Chain A
Amino acid sequence: MYFVAEVNEKECAKYNCKQCVLFCPEPNCLNYKESGHTAWVWYDRCKGCEICVYVCSDLLKRHCIEMVMVKSGD
């Protein structure tokens, strides 16, 4: 069990900013879909460092990403 980032896609699509994707240290972990104008997380690759949460909540005050617990089988 560990934490991974989860994007609230409905909220995220309002801004179309992509800043979290640009500051994630893991390759192809946070990605961006053109179709929905939103970021999405590849959960298998997320190490739970919360840098995206810092960018989204602390720097930009948009609060679209939160950390959620991953359980076995997810």
Chain B
Amino acid sequence: MNDSTASTGTRVLGSITLVGFAALLLFGLVLSPADAAQGELVRMMYVHVPTAFVAFGAFTVTVAASVAYLLRRTEWWDLVAHGSAEIGAVLLAATLVSGMLWGRPTWGVYWTWDARLTTTALLFVLVLGYLAVRRLPLDRDKRAGLAAVVGLLLLPTTIVCHYATTWWRTLHQGPTIARADPQIDGLLLFTLVLGLAVFALLYVWMMVHRFRVLYLEHRVEDLGLDTAIAERRREASGALATPRPATGPVT
């Protein structure tokens, strides 16, 4: 018997992701050359950029699933929105940490209130707020509806964050690959695309597992409720069946 959230599909996907990570480490830390402007520090871009891209994608999925939940009110969409936001939060945290570690030797500071950094921090706080709503002690449907409404706020914040370097003059560099003429080529571009593919695979793999974990949480909650209701019914029927003690006049 399989007592986990794994299946044949997730095992295959997980194995491919692991091989992908091994390749990313090889290309990112060994095979790809240093950049003419950034030197060796460009290696952090192979983590920073993919985690940011995939986190933005994860929040887009959360928004789409929230809209679908508000229209259909089905558990499936609620779980997709929840799981995707959780993974997006983890990846965005990785984006922030890798960006800070890149900023210190490049800009001389870990953090500056640049438009891109500020909007990323706002997005992170917003997704933490969304996950906090998910923990509110409310009826499940009410909580899911409220979370779906809060989840919609991720869309404008993600868009502003993504276009911050285009709309404002920022210390953070502008688009490198998300443009018609990518600003890198050769092994650097290959490693960056490899990073994007590997983190996208990781997202899909984690998404399937998180969906199943959240689904199981709901089922355990339901079983707990069913048991409690059955218990109360047994108590009630027991109380009815038990003859009440005779109460005669006090002499």
Q: Do A and B bind each other?
A: no
Binding site for A on B (CB under 8 A): none
Binding site for B on A (CB under 8 A): none
